[in-house]
Amino acid sequence: MKAKSNDAIALLTSDHREVADLFKQYEALGERAKSSKKRIADEVCTALTMHTTVEEEIFYPSLREAGVKGADELLDEAIVEHASAKELIAQLQEMDPEDELYDAKVKVLAEQIEHHVKEEEKEMFPMVRKAKLDLEALGQEITQRKEELAAAGV
C-alpha cells in the first residue's frame, strides 16, 4: 500500500496500515499454516525495522529540533517502545513458527505496535502538523532512506 502523498505523516500512516493488515492476515491463519505464518511475520519484521529506522533517524529528530512543547516526552516514550519492538523482532527472526511462544510473541508485538500507532496518530502527528515542519521534504528523506534500506536488504 503506497501513500498518496509524499507527506511524511501520510507515508508513516501508510506504513501503519500496511503492518496492521499484515497482523490481521497472520491472525486469520490456522494452526497448521506454518510457512504462511513465517512469511507474514518476516514481512512484519522487515516493515517495522524500516519504519522504526526512518522514524528514529529522520522524523523524530525533526520534531525534537522543532522544539514543540510536550514533544520530548512523547518522543522519549516512542523510542522506548521501538526498543521493545526491536527486541521482539530480533527474537522472532531467530525463531520458527513451530517454536513455543512464536504466536504469542507475534500477538504481543501486534498489541505493542497498535498502542504505539495510536499515540503517534492521535498525539504526535497533530503536534507535527502544528509545528509547521516541511512534511514534503521529510517525506522525500524518508522515501530515499527506505530505498537505501531496501537495497541493503533490511
pLDDT per residue over 57-69, tens digit each?
A: 999 999 999 888 8
- Does the pLDDT value for residue 91 go beyond 80? yes
pLDDT bin (cut points 50, 70, 90) of residue 3 is very low
d(CA 125, CA 10): 10
Predicted TM-score of the model (pTM): 0.92
Quick one: 91 exposed, middle or buried, by C-beta within 10 A (0-12, 13-18, 19+)? middle
Specify the 3-state DSSP secondary structure of 108. Answer: helix
- Does the pLDDT value for residue 106 go beyond 90? yes
DSSP string, 77-98: HHHHHHHHHHHHHHHHHT--TT
pLDDT (tens digit, 9 = 90+) per residue, 4-50? 578 999 999 999 999 999 999 999 998 889 999 999 999 999 999 99
Quick one: 20 exposed, middle or buried, by C-beta within 10 A (0-12, 13-18, 19+)? middle
Query: First and final CA of the chain: distance in angstroms?
Result: 18
- Does the pLDDT value for residue 2 go beyond 50? no
- Residue 153 is predicted with a pLDDT of 86
Locus of grid cell 522519549: 76
- Residue 4 is predicted with a pLDDT of 52
CA geometry: angle at 89 spanning 111 and 39, to 5°?
90
Q: Give me the count of residues in the chain.
A: 154
